Amino acid sequence: MEEFIEYIAKKIVDHPESVSIEIRTSSENKTIISLRVHQDDVGKVIGKKGKTAEAMRTLLSAVASKDHQRAILEIVD
């Protein structure tokens, strides 16, 4: 899952070397993925009215459901 989000984020941003991901696991098969990008790229990852972030979260949910898990994407400033 984390490789998938990292791949998508690196294709969207201008500074792909600044993309980093932190994984936290909580109870009941829930995984929290924190995505950090360069300060100039935060707007690109979020998108207009949050559409890009929403699409990334939808794709992440689909990938996680294949493994019978829940995944939450956080975009950290």
* Residue 71, pLDDT above cutoff 90: yes
**Phi/psi zone of residue 74: left (φ > 0), alpha (ψ -120 to 50 degrees), beta?**
beta
pLDDT per position as a tens digit, 18-42: 999 999 988 777 999 999 999 999 9
* Residue 51, pLDDT above cutoff 80: yes
CB atoms within 10 A of CB 71: 22
Q: Which residues pair with 55 in a beta bridge?
A: none
Question: 2-76 has which CATH code?
Answer: 3.30.300.20
Residue 5 pLDDT class (50, 70, 90 cuts): very high
